[in-house]
Amino acid sequence: MFETVIGLEVHVQLNTKTKLFCTCPTSFAEHQNMNTCPTCLALPGALPVVNKEAAVKAMRLGYAINANVNHTSYFDRKSYFYPDSPSAYQITQLTKAIVQKGEVFIDLKDGTRKRIGMTQAHLEADAGKNMHEGAYSKVDLNRSGTPLLEIVSDPDMRSSEEAVAFLKKLHSTVRYLDISDANMQEGSFRCDVNVSIRPKGQEAFGTRVEIKNINSFKFVAASIAYEVQRQTEAYEDGVYEQEVNQETRLWNVDEGVTKSMRGKEEAADYRYFPDPDLRPLVVTQEMIAEAKIMPELPDAKVKRYIEELGLKLYDAQVITADKEMAYYFEEMLAQGAVAKTAVTWLTSELQGRLNKIGSSIETSPIDAKTLGTLVANISDDSISGKGGKELLDYMMDNESRDVNTLIDKLGLAQVSDDGAILVIIDEILAGNPDKVEQYKGGKDKLFGFFVGQTMKASKGTANPAKVNELLKERLS
Ligand code: ADP
Ligand code: MG
Ligand code: ZN
Protein backbone atom coordinates (compact mmCIF):
# COMPACT_ATOMS: atom_id res chain seq x y z
CA MET A 1 0.00 0.00 0.00
CA PHE A 2 1.20 3.46 -0.88
CA GLU A 3 0.70 6.91 0.51
CA THR A 4 0.45 9.98 -1.71
CA VAL A 5 2.39 13.12 -0.77
CA ILE A 6 1.46 16.46 -2.29
CA GLY A 7 2.88 19.96 -1.95
CA LEU A 8 1.54 22.93 -3.90
CA GLU A 9 3.06 26.12 -5.25
CA VAL A 10 0.36 28.65 -6.08
CA HIS A 11 0.97 31.73 -8.18
CA VAL A 12 -1.42 34.50 -7.33
CA GLN A 13 -1.41 37.62 -9.46
CA LEU A 14 -1.76 40.54 -7.06
CA ASN A 15 -4.36 43.12 -8.06
CA THR A 16 -2.16 46.18 -7.60
CA LYS A 17 -2.66 49.25 -9.74
CA THR A 18 0.93 49.25 -10.97
CA LYS A 19 3.67 46.70 -11.62
CA LEU A 20 6.05 45.35 -8.98
CA PHE A 21 9.09 47.46 -9.82
CA CYS A 22 7.83 50.29 -12.05
CA THR A 23 4.78 52.51 -12.38
CA CYS A 24 3.35 50.87 -15.52
CA PRO A 25 -0.33 50.02 -15.07
CA THR A 26 -1.37 46.39 -14.65
CA SER A 27 -4.75 47.05 -16.26
CA PHE A 28 -5.82 45.67 -19.62
CA ALA A 29 -3.96 47.25 -22.52
CA GLU A 30 -5.42 47.66 -25.96
CA HIS A 31 -2.12 47.05 -27.69
CA GLN A 32 0.85 44.79 -27.18
CA ASN A 33 3.81 46.32 -25.35
CA MET A 34 1.78 49.37 -24.45
CA ASN A 35 2.11 49.03 -20.67
CA THR A 36 5.89 49.05 -20.66
CA CYS A 37 8.77 51.31 -19.65
CA PRO A 38 12.57 51.04 -19.51
CA THR A 39 12.38 49.09 -16.24
CA CYS A 40 10.00 46.34 -17.32
CA LEU A 41 11.65 46.23 -20.74
CA ALA A 42 14.95 45.71 -18.86
CA LEU A 43 16.76 48.49 -20.66
CA PRO A 44 20.27 49.03 -19.32
CA GLY A 45 20.45 51.52 -16.50
CA ALA A 46 16.77 51.45 -15.55
CA LEU A 47 16.37 50.80 -11.85
CA PRO A 48 13.57 48.87 -10.10
CA VAL A 49 11.74 50.35 -7.11
CA VAL A 50 9.52 48.02 -5.11
CA ASN A 51 5.78 48.66 -5.09
CA LYS A 52 4.46 49.27 -1.57
CA GLU A 53 0.93 48.13 -2.41
CA ALA A 54 2.26 44.71 -3.50
CA ALA A 55 4.23 44.36 -0.27
CA VAL A 56 1.20 45.29 1.86
CA LYS A 57 -0.98 42.77 0.01
CA ALA A 58 1.59 40.02 0.55
CA MET A 59 1.77 40.95 4.23
CA ARG A 60 -2.03 40.85 4.50
CA LEU A 61 -2.01 37.24 3.31
CA GLY A 62 0.74 36.56 5.85
CA TYR A 63 -1.36 37.84 8.73
CA ALA A 64 -4.43 35.97 7.45
CA ILE A 65 -2.61 32.61 7.45
CA ASN A 66 -0.93 33.13 10.80
CA ALA A 67 2.53 33.42 9.32
CA ASN A 68 5.68 35.31 10.20
CA VAL A 69 5.75 38.58 8.31
CA ASN A 70 9.39 39.51 7.98
CA HIS A 71 10.12 43.13 8.62
CA THR A 72 13.15 42.82 6.36
CA SER A 73 13.21 40.60 3.30
CA TYR A 74 15.38 40.40 0.19
CA PHE A 75 15.13 40.07 -3.55
CA ASP A 76 17.20 37.65 -5.59
CA ARG A 77 17.79 37.16 -9.28
CA LYS A 78 16.88 33.81 -10.79
CA SER A 79 18.69 33.55 -14.10
CA TYR A 80 17.15 31.90 -17.11
CA PHE A 81 16.88 32.85 -20.71
CA TYR A 82 13.55 32.96 -22.44
CA PRO A 83 12.30 35.58 -24.92
CA ASP A 84 9.43 36.69 -22.66
CA SER A 85 11.95 37.80 -20.02
CA PRO A 86 14.08 40.60 -21.48
CA SER A 87 16.41 40.80 -18.47
CA ALA A 88 17.17 37.07 -18.70
CA TYR A 89 16.46 36.78 -15.00
CA GLN A 90 13.39 36.89 -12.80
CA ILE A 91 13.37 38.97 -9.66
CA THR A 92 12.08 36.77 -6.83
CA GLN A 93 12.71 36.11 -3.14
CA LEU A 94 14.73 32.98 -2.51
CA THR A 95 16.53 33.23 0.80
CA LYS A 96 14.28 35.39 2.90
CA ALA A 97 10.73 35.86 1.71
CA ILE A 98 8.38 38.50 3.05
CA VAL A 99 6.09 35.80 4.48
CA GLN A 100 7.26 32.55 6.08
CA LYS A 101 5.72 29.64 8.00
CA GLY A 102 1.95 29.95 7.99
CA GLU A 103 -0.97 27.56 8.14
CA VAL A 104 -4.27 26.92 6.43
CA PHE A 105 -7.04 24.70 7.74
CA ILE A 106 -9.07 22.56 5.39
CA ASP A 107 -12.38 20.84 6.00
CA LEU A 108 -12.75 17.37 4.54
CA LYS A 109 -15.85 15.50 3.42
CA ASP A 110 -15.73 13.16 6.41
CA GLY A 111 -16.16 16.18 8.69
CA THR A 112 -12.54 16.32 9.85
CA ARG A 113 -10.32 19.36 9.79
CA LYS A 114 -6.67 19.30 8.83
CA ARG A 115 -3.83 21.77 9.19
CA ILE A 116 -1.68 22.34 6.11
CA GLY A 117 1.62 24.08 6.81
CA MET A 118 2.77 26.90 4.58
CA THR A 119 6.45 27.16 3.81
CA GLN A 120 6.46 30.73 2.56
CA ALA A 121 4.89 33.33 0.29
CA HIS A 122 7.26 35.44 -1.73
CA LEU A 123 6.99 38.34 -4.13
CA GLU A 124 8.18 37.93 -7.68
CA ALA A 125 7.81 39.55 -11.07
CA ASP A 126 5.82 37.82 -13.78
CA ALA A 127 7.21 37.36 -17.30
CA GLY A 128 5.69 38.63 -20.53
CA LYS A 129 3.97 36.41 -23.05
CA ASN A 130 5.22 34.74 -26.20
CA MET A 131 2.66 34.47 -28.94
CA HIS A 132 3.21 32.08 -31.78
CA GLU A 133 1.53 33.02 -35.03
CA GLY A 134 2.36 30.94 -38.05
CA ALA A 135 5.98 31.41 -39.00
CA TYR A 136 6.44 34.19 -36.45
CA SER A 137 6.66 34.39 -32.73
CA LYS A 138 5.90 37.68 -31.05
CA VAL A 139 6.67 38.89 -27.57
CA ASP A 140 4.21 40.97 -25.59
CA LEU A 141 5.69 42.51 -22.44
CA ASN A 142 2.53 44.06 -21.02
CA ARG A 143 2.56 41.42 -18.29
CA SER A 144 6.32 41.71 -17.71
CA GLY A 145 6.90 42.83 -14.15
CA THR A 146 3.35 42.40 -12.85
CA PRO A 147 3.43 41.27 -9.22
CA LEU A 148 2.98 37.64 -8.32
CA LEU A 149 2.75 36.19 -4.87
CA GLU A 150 4.04 32.63 -4.95
CA ILE A 151 2.56 30.71 -2.06
CA VAL A 152 4.36 27.47 -1.24
CA SER A 153 2.83 24.79 0.95
CA ASP A 154 4.62 22.14 2.97
CA PRO A 155 4.27 18.60 1.58
CA ASP A 156 1.36 18.01 3.96
CA MET A 157 -1.43 16.82 1.68
CA ARG A 158 -2.14 13.12 1.31
CA SER A 159 -4.85 12.94 -1.34
CA SER A 160 -6.27 14.89 -4.24
CA GLU A 161 -9.29 15.70 -2.08
CA GLU A 162 -6.98 17.44 0.38
CA ALA A 163 -5.12 19.25 -2.40
CA VAL A 164 -8.35 20.58 -3.93
CA ALA A 165 -9.75 21.55 -0.52
CA PHE A 166 -6.51 23.43 0.19
CA LEU A 167 -6.60 25.25 -3.13
CA LYS A 168 -10.25 26.21 -2.71
CA LYS A 169 -9.55 27.53 0.76
CA LEU A 170 -6.60 29.57 -0.46
CA HIS A 171 -8.57 30.81 -3.46
CA SER A 172 -11.42 31.90 -1.23
CA THR A 173 -9.02 33.54 1.22
CA VAL A 174 -7.19 35.68 -1.35
CA ARG A 175 -10.56 36.76 -2.73
CA TYR A 176 -11.85 37.76 0.71
CA LEU A 177 -8.60 39.64 1.30
CA ASP A 178 -9.10 41.34 -2.05
CA ILE A 179 -5.45 40.93 -2.96
CA SER A 180 -6.16 39.15 -6.25
CA ASP A 181 -9.02 38.54 -8.69
CA ALA A 182 -7.85 34.93 -8.56
CA ASN A 183 -9.50 34.28 -11.88
CA MET A 184 -8.38 30.79 -12.82
CA GLN A 185 -9.39 30.95 -16.49
CA GLU A 186 -7.42 34.14 -16.93
CA GLY A 187 -4.44 32.70 -15.10
CA SER A 188 -4.39 35.02 -12.13
CA PHE A 189 -4.51 31.97 -9.83
CA ARG A 190 -2.52 29.01 -11.12
CA CYS A 191 -0.62 26.25 -9.42
CA ASP A 192 2.20 23.76 -9.70
CA VAL A 193 1.43 20.39 -8.16
CA ASN A 194 4.25 18.35 -6.63
CA VAL A 195 3.37 14.67 -6.26
CA SER A 196 5.21 11.65 -4.94
CA ILE A 197 4.31 8.31 -3.41
CA ARG A 198 5.92 6.23 -0.71
CA PRO A 199 5.16 2.82 0.78
CA LYS A 200 2.94 3.24 3.85
CA GLY A 201 5.11 3.45 6.94
CA GLN A 202 8.21 4.64 5.13
CA GLU A 203 9.44 7.93 6.51
CA ALA A 204 11.54 9.19 3.61
CA PHE A 205 9.65 10.90 0.82
CA GLY A 206 9.64 9.39 -2.64
CA THR A 207 10.80 11.17 -5.77
CA ARG A 208 8.51 14.04 -6.64
CA VAL A 209 7.42 15.26 -10.02
CA GLU A 210 6.20 18.80 -10.48
CA ILE A 211 3.17 19.32 -12.73
CA LYS A 212 3.30 22.89 -13.96
CA ASN A 213 0.72 25.60 -14.37
CA ILE A 214 -2.62 23.99 -13.75
CA ASN A 215 -5.52 26.39 -13.81
CA SER A 216 -8.57 24.41 -12.71
CA PHE A 217 -9.52 22.42 -9.61
CA LYS A 218 -10.70 19.60 -11.86
CA PHE A 219 -7.33 19.30 -13.60
CA VAL A 220 -5.52 19.36 -10.25
CA ALA A 221 -7.52 16.32 -9.14
CA ALA A 222 -7.19 14.55 -12.49
CA SER A 223 -3.45 15.11 -12.83
CA ILE A 224 -2.81 13.87 -9.28
CA ALA A 225 -4.88 10.74 -9.93
CA TYR A 226 -2.92 10.11 -13.11
CA GLU A 227 0.48 10.63 -11.47
CA VAL A 228 -0.33 8.46 -8.47
CA GLN A 229 -1.33 5.64 -10.77
CA ARG A 230 1.74 6.05 -13.00
CA GLN A 231 4.12 6.12 -10.05
CA THR A 232 2.39 3.22 -8.28
CA GLU A 233 2.54 1.03 -11.37
CA ALA A 234 6.21 1.84 -11.87
CA TYR A 235 6.87 0.86 -8.26
CA GLU A 236 4.95 -2.38 -8.54
CA ASP A 237 6.65 -3.25 -11.84
CA GLY A 238 10.05 -2.70 -10.27
CA VAL A 239 10.94 0.23 -12.56
CA TYR A 240 10.37 3.11 -10.12
CA GLU A 241 14.01 4.27 -10.30
CA GLN A 242 13.94 4.39 -14.09
CA GLU A 243 10.51 5.87 -14.65
CA VAL A 244 9.92 8.25 -11.77
CA ASN A 245 12.42 11.08 -12.02
CA GLN A 246 12.49 14.44 -10.35
CA GLU A 247 11.25 16.39 -13.32
CA THR A 248 8.76 18.92 -14.57
CA ARG A 249 5.71 17.51 -16.29
CA LEU A 250 2.77 19.07 -18.09
CA TRP A 251 -0.88 18.11 -17.85
CA ASN A 252 -2.20 17.29 -21.30
CA VAL A 253 -5.87 18.19 -21.17
CA ASP A 254 -6.89 16.37 -24.35
CA GLU A 255 -5.24 13.06 -23.50
CA GLY A 256 -5.75 13.24 -19.74
CA VAL A 257 -2.10 12.38 -19.03
CA THR A 258 0.99 14.14 -17.70
CA LYS A 259 4.00 14.34 -20.00
CA SER A 260 7.62 15.00 -19.24
CA MET A 261 8.59 18.56 -20.12
CA ARG A 262 12.12 18.85 -18.83
CA GLY A 263 14.38 17.52 -16.12
CA LYS A 264 14.07 19.43 -12.89
CA GLU A 265 16.63 22.20 -12.66
CA GLU A 266 18.71 22.31 -9.55
CA ALA A 267 18.83 25.66 -7.75
CA ALA A 268 22.44 25.95 -8.96
CA ASP A 269 21.24 26.03 -12.57
CA TYR A 270 19.49 29.31 -11.88
CA ARG A 271 22.61 30.97 -10.48
CA TYR A 272 20.58 32.75 -7.84
CA PHE A 273 22.20 35.80 -6.29
CA PRO A 274 20.97 38.86 -4.38
CA ASP A 275 19.70 41.55 -6.71
CA PRO A 276 22.23 44.38 -6.46
CA ASP A 277 19.73 46.92 -7.79
CA LEU A 278 17.23 46.43 -4.97
CA ARG A 279 17.65 47.38 -1.36
CA PRO A 280 16.21 45.11 1.33
CA LEU A 281 12.43 45.39 1.60
CA VAL A 282 11.90 46.96 5.01
CA VAL A 283 8.31 47.29 6.14
CA THR A 284 7.12 50.31 8.07
CA GLN A 285 4.65 50.54 10.97
CA GLU A 286 2.26 52.21 8.58
CA MET A 287 2.45 49.23 6.19
CA ILE A 288 1.88 46.81 9.06
CA ALA A 289 -1.19 48.73 10.20
CA GLU A 290 -2.56 48.79 6.67
CA ALA A 291 -1.90 45.08 6.09
CA LYS A 292 -3.73 44.19 9.28
CA ILE A 293 -6.96 45.79 8.09
CA MET A 294 -8.80 42.66 7.21
CA PRO A 295 -12.32 41.48 6.51
CA GLU A 296 -13.90 38.68 8.50
CA LEU A 297 -12.44 35.49 6.95
CA PRO A 298 -14.31 32.27 6.14
CA ASP A 299 -13.25 30.34 9.27
CA ALA A 300 -14.45 33.15 11.54
CA LYS A 301 -17.67 33.47 9.55
CA VAL A 302 -18.41 29.75 9.83
CA LYS A 303 -17.95 29.92 13.59
CA ARG A 304 -20.18 32.98 13.90
CA TYR A 305 -22.89 31.59 11.62
CA ILE A 306 -23.06 28.43 13.72
CA GLU A 307 -22.90 30.09 17.12
CA GLU A 308 -24.96 33.20 16.50
CA LEU A 309 -27.26 32.26 13.66
CA GLY A 310 -27.73 28.59 14.49
CA LEU A 311 -26.73 27.35 11.05
CA LYS A 312 -25.53 23.81 10.45
CA LEU A 313 -21.80 23.38 9.80
CA TYR A 314 -22.41 22.28 6.22
CA ASP A 315 -24.63 25.26 5.40
CA ALA A 316 -22.19 27.67 7.02
CA GLN A 317 -19.38 26.22 4.90
CA VAL A 318 -21.37 26.46 1.68
CA ILE A 319 -22.34 30.07 2.33
CA THR A 320 -18.85 31.24 3.31
CA ALA A 321 -16.83 29.38 0.67
CA ASP A 322 -17.37 32.27 -1.68
CA LYS A 323 -17.26 35.88 -0.51
CA GLU A 324 -20.00 36.98 -2.94
CA MET A 325 -22.30 34.34 -1.46
CA ALA A 326 -21.47 35.35 2.13
CA TYR A 327 -21.99 39.06 1.47
CA TYR A 328 -25.25 38.33 -0.35
CA PHE A 329 -26.44 36.25 2.60
CA GLU A 330 -25.54 38.94 5.13
CA GLU A 331 -27.39 41.56 3.11
CA MET A 332 -30.48 39.31 3.14
CA LEU A 333 -30.31 39.17 6.94
CA ALA A 334 -30.07 42.95 7.05
CA GLN A 335 -33.46 43.03 5.31
CA GLY A 336 -34.99 41.00 8.13
CA ALA A 337 -34.78 37.51 6.63
CA VAL A 338 -34.50 34.69 9.17
CA ALA A 339 -31.10 33.00 8.76
CA LYS A 340 -32.16 29.40 8.14
CA THR A 341 -34.87 30.42 5.68
CA ALA A 342 -32.40 32.72 3.95
CA VAL A 343 -29.99 29.79 3.48
CA THR A 344 -32.63 27.71 1.73
CA TRP A 345 -33.77 30.53 -0.49
CA LEU A 346 -30.24 31.50 -1.42
CA THR A 347 -28.65 28.08 -1.92
CA SER A 348 -31.54 26.23 -3.42
CA GLU A 349 -34.36 28.48 -4.70
CA LEU A 350 -32.22 31.27 -6.14
CA GLN A 351 -29.17 29.15 -6.99
CA GLY A 352 -31.34 26.61 -8.80
CA ARG A 353 -32.96 29.31 -10.92
CA LEU A 354 -29.59 30.95 -11.63
CA ASN A 355 -28.12 27.62 -12.74
CA LYS A 356 -30.97 27.24 -15.21
CA ILE A 357 -30.16 30.53 -16.91
CA GLY A 358 -26.39 30.04 -16.66
CA SER A 359 -26.02 32.89 -14.20
CA SER A 360 -24.30 33.16 -10.82
CA ILE A 361 -24.61 35.12 -7.59
CA GLU A 362 -22.35 37.80 -9.05
CA THR A 363 -24.52 38.30 -12.12
CA SER A 364 -27.85 37.48 -10.49
CA PRO A 365 -30.78 39.55 -11.78
CA ILE A 366 -32.20 39.40 -8.24
CA ASP A 367 -30.08 41.35 -5.81
CA ALA A 368 -29.62 40.55 -2.13
CA LYS A 369 -31.94 43.34 -0.91
CA THR A 370 -34.74 41.99 -3.09
CA LEU A 371 -34.38 38.34 -2.10
CA GLY A 372 -33.87 39.40 1.52
CA THR A 373 -37.12 41.36 1.45
CA LEU A 374 -38.93 38.41 -0.11
CA VAL A 375 -37.65 36.05 2.59
CA ALA A 376 -38.45 38.59 5.32
CA ASN A 377 -42.05 38.53 4.06
CA ILE A 378 -42.08 34.75 4.38
CA SER A 379 -40.45 34.91 7.80
CA ASP A 380 -43.20 37.18 9.16
CA ASP A 381 -45.97 35.21 7.41
CA SER A 382 -46.90 38.06 5.04
CA ILE A 383 -46.64 35.60 2.17
CA SER A 384 -46.47 31.82 2.05
CA GLY A 385 -43.50 29.80 0.82
CA LYS A 386 -45.52 28.93 -2.24
CA GLY A 387 -46.29 32.60 -2.82
CA GLY A 388 -42.59 33.36 -2.44
CA LYS A 389 -41.70 30.92 -5.21
CA GLU A 390 -44.33 32.45 -7.48
CA LEU A 391 -42.92 35.89 -6.72
CA LEU A 392 -39.33 34.79 -7.36
CA ASP A 393 -40.31 33.20 -10.69
CA TYR A 394 -42.07 36.42 -11.65
CA MET A 395 -39.03 38.54 -10.80
CA MET A 396 -36.66 36.25 -12.69
CA ASP A 397 -38.74 36.92 -15.81
CA ASN A 398 -39.61 40.57 -15.32
CA GLU A 399 -37.82 43.84 -14.86
CA SER A 400 -40.10 45.00 -12.06
CA ARG A 401 -38.67 43.69 -8.81
CA ASP A 402 -40.20 45.71 -6.03
CA VAL A 403 -41.26 42.98 -3.65
CA ASN A 404 -43.91 44.85 -1.69
CA THR A 405 -45.59 46.24 -4.81
CA LEU A 406 -45.56 42.82 -6.43
CA ILE A 407 -47.11 41.09 -3.41
CA ASP A 408 -50.17 43.32 -3.91
CA LYS A 409 -50.12 43.14 -7.68
CA LEU A 410 -49.90 39.34 -7.76
CA GLY A 411 -52.37 38.96 -4.87
CA LEU A 412 -49.90 37.02 -2.75
CA ALA A 413 -50.61 38.60 0.62
CA GLN A 414 -51.23 35.81 3.05
CA VAL A 415 -54.14 36.09 5.45
CA SER A 416 -53.03 35.30 8.98
CA ASP A 417 -55.77 37.24 10.70
CA ASP A 418 -57.84 34.87 12.89
CA GLY A 419 -61.12 36.64 12.26
CA ALA A 420 -60.86 36.53 8.47
CA ILE A 421 -59.87 32.87 8.44
CA LEU A 422 -62.59 31.90 10.92
CA VAL A 423 -65.25 33.40 8.63
CA ILE A 424 -64.16 31.02 5.89
CA ILE A 425 -63.84 28.04 8.22
CA ASP A 426 -67.30 28.56 9.59
CA GLU A 427 -68.75 28.68 6.09
CA ILE A 428 -67.03 25.44 5.13
CA LEU A 429 -68.17 23.67 8.29
CA ALA A 430 -71.74 24.94 7.88
CA GLY A 431 -71.79 23.73 4.30
CA ASN A 432 -70.66 20.22 5.21
CA PRO A 433 -72.62 19.14 8.31
CA ASP A 434 -72.47 15.43 7.38
CA LYS A 435 -68.65 15.46 7.14
CA VAL A 436 -68.39 17.33 10.44
CA GLU A 437 -70.53 14.60 11.95
CA GLN A 438 -68.30 11.84 10.53
CA TYR A 439 -65.14 13.61 11.70
CA LYS A 440 -66.46 13.92 15.19
CA GLY A 441 -67.42 10.23 15.01
CA GLY A 442 -63.75 9.34 14.55
CA LYS A 443 -63.00 9.76 10.85
CA ASP A 444 -59.80 11.74 11.43
CA LYS A 445 -58.78 11.68 7.80
CA LEU A 446 -61.46 14.28 7.04
CA PHE A 447 -59.32 16.95 8.70
CA GLY A 448 -57.32 17.23 5.49
CA PHE A 449 -60.52 17.78 3.55
CA PHE A 450 -61.47 20.77 5.75
CA VAL A 451 -57.98 22.26 5.40
CA GLY A 452 -58.13 21.83 1.63
CA GLN A 453 -61.57 23.42 1.36
CA THR A 454 -60.55 26.37 3.52
CA MET A 455 -57.37 26.98 1.52
CA LYS A 456 -59.32 26.74 -1.70
CA ALA A 457 -62.00 29.16 -0.53
CA SER A 458 -59.25 31.62 0.47
CA LYS A 459 -57.73 31.23 -2.99
CA GLY A 460 -54.56 29.97 -1.34
CA THR A 461 -53.98 33.14 0.65
CA ALA A 462 -54.81 31.78 4.10
CA ASN A 463 -51.82 30.98 6.27
CA PRO A 464 -51.89 27.14 6.36
CA ALA A 465 -50.49 26.95 9.88
CA LYS A 466 -53.25 29.28 11.10
CA VAL A 467 -55.90 27.28 9.20
CA ASN A 468 -54.75 24.09 10.92
CA GLU A 469 -54.72 25.70 14.33
CA LEU A 470 -58.15 27.33 13.98
CA LEU A 471 -59.78 24.25 12.46
CA LYS A 472 -58.56 22.11 15.36
CA GLU A 473 -60.11 24.61 17.76
CA ARG A 474 -63.44 24.70 15.95
CA LEU A 475 -63.75 20.92 15.58
CA SER A 476 -62.75 19.99 19.10
P1 ADP B 1 11.38 23.92 -5.91
O2 ADP B 1 11.50 25.32 -5.46
O3 ADP B 1 12.58 23.39 -6.59
O4 ADP B 1 10.16 23.63 -6.70
P5 ADP B 1 10.87 23.13 -3.10
O6 ADP B 1 11.74 22.29 -2.25
O7 ADP B 1 10.71 24.56 -2.75
O8 ADP B 1 11.33 22.96 -4.62
O9 ADP B 1 9.46 22.45 -3.07
C10 ADP B 1 8.45 22.84 -3.86
C11 ADP B 1 7.17 22.14 -3.46
O12 ADP B 1 7.30 20.74 -3.51
C13 ADP B 1 6.69 22.48 -2.08
O14 ADP B 1 5.31 22.77 -2.16
C15 ADP B 1 6.91 21.20 -1.30
O16 ADP B 1 5.93 21.03 -0.30
C17 ADP B 1 6.76 20.15 -2.36
N18 ADP B 1 7.49 18.91 -2.10
C19 ADP B 1 8.76 18.79 -1.67
N20 ADP B 1 9.09 17.49 -1.60
C21 ADP B 1 8.01 16.76 -2.00
C22 ADP B 1 7.73 15.36 -2.16
N23 ADP B 1 8.64 14.42 -1.92
N24 ADP B 1 6.51 15.01 -2.60
C25 ADP B 1 5.60 15.93 -2.89
N26 ADP B 1 5.80 17.26 -2.75
C27 ADP B 1 6.99 17.67 -2.31
MG1 MG C 1 8.84 24.90 -7.88
ZN1 ZN D 1 7.25 49.36 -16.61
Give the CA distances from residue 280 to residues 24, 65, 75, 277, 384, in Å, rounded to whole numbers and listed in that order.
22, 23, 7, 10, 64
Range(s) of the chain covered by CATH 1.10.10.410 = 418-475
Across the range 237-266, mean pLDDT stands at 90
Q: Output the pLDDT for position 265.
A: 66
pLDDT, tens digit, 9 for 90 and up, residues 329-386: 999 999 999 999 999 999 999 999 999 999 999 999 999 999 999 999 999 889 989 8
Q: What is the pLDDT of residues 7-19, one digit of tens each?
A: 999 999 999 999 9
| Ligand 1 mutation pick, 208, 220, 228, 261, max ligand atoms within 8 A of CB | 208
pLDDT at 269: 83
pLDDT at 244: 94
Q: Tell me, in angstroms, the distance from the centre of ligand 1 to residue 343's CA.
A: 40
Taking the model in full, what pTM does it have?
0.89
> Contact at 8 Å (CB) between 93 and 72?
no
In this model, does residue 325 exceed pLDDT 80?
A: yes
C-alpha 87 to ligand 1 mean position (Å): 27
Q: 30-62 burial by CB neighbour count: b if 16+ within 10 A, else e?
A: eeeeebbeebbbbeeeeebebbebbbbbbbbbb
Highest mean pLDDT among 51-65, 248-262, 402-416: 51-65
Q: Whose CA is nearest to atom 17 of ligand 1?
A: 7
What is the average pLDDT score of the chain?
Answer: 94
- Does residue 281 carry a pLDDT above 90? yes
The pLDDT assigned to 378 comes to: 93
The residue whose C-alpha atom lies closest to atom 2 belonging to ligand 1 is 267
pLDDT at position 286:
98
Reported confidence tier of residue 464, pLDDT bands at 50, 70, 90: confident
Q: How far is the CA of 445 from the centre of ligand 3 (A)?
A: 80
Q: What is the mean pLDDT of residues 385-396?
A: 94
pLDDT at res. 62: 98
Query: What letter does residue 379 receive in the DSSP assignment?
Result: H
463 has pLDDT over 90: no
pLDDT of residue 267: 65
pLDDT of residue 416 exceeding 90: no
Q: In angstroms, rounded to a whole number, what is the distance separating the alpha carbons of residues 388 and 377?
A: 8
> Which numbered ligand comes closest to the C-alpha of 209?
1
Which atom of ligand 1 is nearest to 152's Cα? 14
- CA-nearest residue for atom 7, ligand 1, is 152
Q: Which ligand is nearest to the CA of 224?
A: 1
Question: According to the model, what pLDDT value does residue 28 have?
Answer: 87
pLDDT at 448: 92
Ligand 1 atom at minimum distance from 195 CA: 25
Q: Spell out the SS3 assignment of 215-264.
A: CCHHHHHHHHHHHHHHHHHHHHCCCHHHHCCCEEEEEECCCCEEEEEEEC
Q: Distance from the CA of 98 to the center of ligand 2, in angstroms?
A: 17
Question: Within 13 Å and on the Cβ side, how many CA atoms surround 434?
Answer: 0
Instruction: Kindly state the DSSP code that residue 357 receives in the 8-state scheme.
Output: T
203-216 tens-digit pLDDT: 999 999 999 989 89
Element (H, E) at 111: none
Asked whether the predicted pLDDT for residue 54 surpasses 70, the reply is yes
> Which residue type occupies 313?
L
Residue 435 alpha carbon to ligand 2 centre in Å: 80
pLDDT of residue 210: 96
pLDDT value for 227: 97
Question: Cβ < 6 Å from ligand 1: which residues?
Answer: 5-9, 152-155, 194-196, 205-206, 208, 210
Q: For 124-153, how does the pLDDT look when each residue is reduced to its tens digit (9 = 90+)?
A: 999 999 999 999 999 999 999 999 999 999
Q: How, if at all, do strands 136-140 and 129-133 pair? A: antiparallel
Q: Which of 9, 151, 167, 227 to mutate to test the pocket of ligand 1 (most atoms within 8 A of CB)?
A: 9
CATH 3.50.50.60 fits 418-475, yes or no: no
* Low-confidence winner among 241-245, 306-310, 413-417, 440-444 (lowest mean pLDDT): 413-417
The ligand minimizing its distance to the Cα of 193 is 1
Tell which wins on pLDDT, 417 or 102: 102
Burial label for 414, CB within 10 Å (0-12, 13-18, 19+), is buried
Ligand nearest to the CA of 266: 1
Segment 286-312 mean pLDDT = 97
Q: What's the CA-to-centroid distance between 459 and ligand 2, angstroms? A: 67
pLDDT score at 17: 98
264 — pLDDT class (breaks 50, 70, 90): low
From the alpha carbon of 8, which atom of ligand 1 is closest?
14
Q: Which one of the ligands is nearest to 195 CA?
A: 1
Q: Is the pLDDT of residue 321 over 80?
A: yes
Cα(265) to ligand 3 centroid in Å equals 29
Where does 270-417 have alpha helices with state H? 285-291, 298-309, 313-320, 323-334, 339-344, 351-356, 368-379, 385-397, 403-409
| Angle formed at CA 407 by CA 404 and CA 408, multiple of 5 degrees | 95
Ligand number with the minimum distance to the CA of 7: 1
Ligand 1 mutation pick, 78, 152, 265, max ligand atoms within 8 A of CB: 152
Portion of the chain with pLDDT greater than 90, in percent: 86
Distance from Cα 125 to the centre of ligand 3, integer Å = 11
Separation of CA 226 and ligand 2 centre (Å): 20
Tell me the pLDDT band of 180, cut-offs 50, 70 and 90: very high
Q: Is the pLDDT of residue 268 over 80?
A: no
Residue 88: its pLDDT value, please?
Answer: 96
What pLDDT, on a 0 to 100 scale, did the predictor assign at position 418?
Answer: 85
- Phi/psi of residue 85, each to 5°? -125, 90
Those residues whose beta carbon sits under 5 angstroms from the ion ligand 3 are 22, 24, 37, 39-40
Give the helix, strand, coil percentages of the chain, each rounded to 5.
Answer: 40, 20, 35
- Distance (Å) from CA 171 to ligand 3 centroid: 28
151's enclosing H/E stretch is: strand 147-153
